[in-house]
Chains A and B, each alone.
Chain A
Amino acid sequence: MKVTIDGHTVEVEAGTTILQAARQIGGDLVPPAMCYHSKIENTGGKCRVCMVKVTAGSEKDPRPMPKLVPSCVTTVQEGMVIENITNPQVLEARKNVVELLLINHPLDCPVCDQAGECKLQDLSYEHGIVDSELVEDKRVFDMVDIGDKIKLHMNRCILCYRCVYLADQLTPERVHGVMFRGDKAEISTYISKAIDNEMSGNVIDVCPVGALTDKTFRFKSRVWFLKPMNAERDCDKCCGKATAWMFGNEIYRVTSRHTKYGEVEEFICNTCRYDKKFITDWKITGPRDFGQASVINQNNYVQQLKKVVINADKRLL
């Protein structure tokens, strides 16, 4: 099927969502996604930051869709024409949604472990306005421990439901869900039960904000001081492919590998994540590449190295 996004035409399979089609083109026109995660079933459609304008529904019926549509759950039609960053209405709506997401967000980035790899932070820098018009108090929750390794900081949660659906996917019965409603809704586990699963640590990785954090890493270091490395080990429970975040020879934390859209490539088990923190546990295969825009890669030696080599070559010639 042929679809056009911001003037770029791409051939995709039937059943592809607009977001996936945009990712096939790549670049700036990819809508941001906070709640959608391609590895977790049923996700998407909740955070509303990926809304795009469909200016022609399909070749057969070229009428525009009346409302903005969430690109992560809307499948493409033959001849669909979509506007994302070229449409001011879309950018306005995205800005509005980001502003609404931020009104109850504590904005405690200076003390938040997610800072630097936080989707909401990126979005608010990109779209948000600096001063909020909210003068009232924000909603406040108490911090909760989910098991002995995961900390739930509900104030920061944007209720993307990623962890809920992931827990549904991992566990046979429902142990993790949402309680209450409206802005009082909170992520919670079944009364006095934690997610008892070998893969439960992945909820930390799928969380787009700092609501779920790794207790073994809390307040240890800022992520941009660490060097992310591709690490491998033989694991009988998972794929054994992870990212080791290192400072010198020390491994500060282990996470799964993320794609450039912040999605987990392959889930890793809790043993790999929490217990293997010595350099001898892992085989380091090389540096992990993050996008140029990421704060984590700001001082990335690989890119600098490349630059140096090229400059050196030029000078040699």
Chain B
Amino acid sequence: MGRKIILEHYNVPNLKDYEVYRSVGGYRAVEKALKSMTPDEVVQEVKRSGLRGRGGAGFPTGMKWSFIAKPEGKPRYLLCNADESEPGTFKDRYMMQYNPHFLIDGMICSAYALGCNTAYIYVRGEYKFIIKILEKAILEAKANGWLGKNILGTGYDLEIYVHTGAGAYICGEETALIESIEGKRGNPRIKPPFPAVSGLYGCPTVVNNVESLAVVSWIIQNGGDEYSKIGLGNSTGTKLISASGNIRKPGVYEIELGLSVEEFMYSDEYCGGMQHEGRDLKAVVAGGSSVPILPKELILKTASGENRLMTYESLSDGGFKTGTMLGSGGFIVYDEAACIVRNTWNFSRFYHHESCGQCSPCREGTGWLEKVLHRVEHGTGRWADIDLLVEITKKIEGNTICPFGDAASWPVASAVRHFRHEFEYHVRYPEKIKNREHFASEPMRLFMNEFVK
């Protein structure tokens, strides 16, 4: 049984109400931080914990905080990135829906550490119902003196506002998120300057994922050293994983980093094995749609034969050739009946739709990728298309303003790398592809014929 931090009290009914949250020990971290610690001590505590950003890149949170510029006469801002739009990731929604106070708790501690008097929670447009929950929680916190002017009589002021996105994936990129809050078109900015120097309204800004901010309250309450004991190596603490796909028990799980992938997939505590009896595992996307897809033999064992663990290091072992990334923790499992080409096309369609259109390689390249994959998937592909796909990904990768271009090209490049035979099958037997005969199971084929065609 892994240790639970974020999901510790999830079986308490009505946890999203203030009284219930308070009765399980809520807001004690704020009390501790504001009354007995200086902001620097809070930052040091987070640094000691070894907490790494949970949004995808895995940058150490404490280090990020220590980069923030502190010029005189300029306000600083804390932004909570709740624009969780990565296909396959739904952990933040679950947390905000059932335990909004936990996030606000962590945000007050973080804002205090950074010296921010205004904080924003940027919620994606599709999560409209979450906004009501968060706003209610903020009102409750304010009514009980955890927000507003002179919190707990310490002279520290903080306001938290909820801001809605309009449904753009790109606004999860931190600078695009800042632009969006400023009321502009959500285009990523060119870095440098980094947000820590010039972010929202030209002021120093820190943007953190929901999970990273929320867990700060636990770190303050129990100490950074305690947190760093959980986990393995540089991957400390626990992480929410949104498991989906062909598994018996899809859902949000909290794991201690360092758990082996095999155990996560097959143990009854977590995913509970494959969904259908007799259908073996085919591939796993380990961290949301942007990370490279891995076949069965590489996800369970690394290329050097070690057990693959759920840590930042172990998952990226082998680089892009044989490794992947922990990313945002969107764990998507495919069994033998799944068609990787169709899945890649689907991801590519998403990236084509979501590209902001600011810089040329991504704007033109994502569209091209989707067109080529559409062709291959619908039985009109040519042999040259398979290599063309790899060529296009190379043209996009690394040439764009923000990591979106990389995110759009990695899944395609890795799918061709590990599942080239499926692409070749699509080109070799176009008639079978057109009639959807390549799906292993009858029901899936019927479904595809009826609804997807």
Binding site for B on A (CB under 8 A): 44-49, 51, 67-68, 70, 73, 93, 96-97, 99-101, 103-104, 133-134, 136, 139, 158-159, 161, 177-178, 180-185
Contacts and interface: CB of A to CB of B under 8 A. Distances in A.
A159 B363 contact: yes
Given A183-B364, A183-B367, A100 B395 contact: yes
Contacts of A158: 360
A-B CB proximity, top 3 nearest:
A185-B357, A96-B395, A182-B355
B360 A48 contact: yes
A305 B396 CA distance: 47
Interface stretch (B107-115, B136-144, B397-405): B397-405
20 contacts: A44-B190, A46-B359, A48-B399, A93-B398, A96-B394, A97-B399, A100-B364, A100-B395, A100-B396, A101-B364, A103-B364, A159-B357, A159-B358, A177-B185, A181-B170, A181-B354, A181-B357, A183-B355, A185-B356, A185-B357
Nearest to B168: A181
Nearest to B391: A133
B362 to A, nearest CB: 8
A21 to B, nearest CB: 17
A181 B367 contact: no
Contacts of B352: 182-183
Q: Which of A100, A133, A134 has the most CB of B within 10 A?
A: A100
A96 B361 contact: yes
Contacts of A177: 185
Contact of B371 (A44, A45, A136, A180): A136
A104 B388 CA distance: 17
Interface string B379-410: 00000100010010011101111000000000
Interface in B392-438: 394-396, 398-401
A177 B394 CA distance: 31
B163 interface: no
A45 B400 CA distance: 9
Contacts of A133: 384, 388, 391
A186 to B, nearest CB: 9
Interface string B160-203: 00000000101000000000000001000010000000000000
Given A104-B367, A133-B388, A181 B356 contact: yes
Nearest to B187: A178
Contacts of B287: none
B98 interface: no
Contacts of B190: 44-45, 70, 73
A47 B354 contact: no
Contacts of A178: 185, 357
B399 A68 contact: yes
B248 interface: no
Contacts, number: 90
Contacts of B388: 133
B322 interface: no
A177 to B, nearest CB: 7
B368 interface: yes
B401 A104 contact: no
B365 interface: yes
B225 to A, nearest CB: 33
Given A48-B359, A158-B360, A182-B355, A99 B366 contact: no
Contacts of A96: 361, 394-395, 399
B355 A100 contact: no
Contacts of A46: 358-360, 401
Given A45-B190, A103-B368, A136-B371, A184 B357 contact: yes
Contact of A97 (B168, B360, B384): B360
B44 to A, nearest CB: 26
Nearest to B384: A133
Contacts of B361: 48, 96-97, 100
B48 interface: no
Contacts of A49: 360
A134 B357 contact: no
Given A67-B398, A183-B357, 11 more contacts: A46-B401, A47-B359, A48-B400, A51-B399, A68-B398, A96-B394, A100-B361, A100-B368, A134-B368, A139-B367, A182-B367
B353 interface: yes
A182 B356 contact: yes
B399 A93 contact: yes
B346 to A, nearest CB: 16
Nearest to B358: A46
A67 B190 CA distance: 14
A221 to B, nearest CB: 31
Contacts of B356: 181-182, 185
A47 B388 CA distance: 22
Contacts of A183: 352, 355, 357, 363-364, 366-367
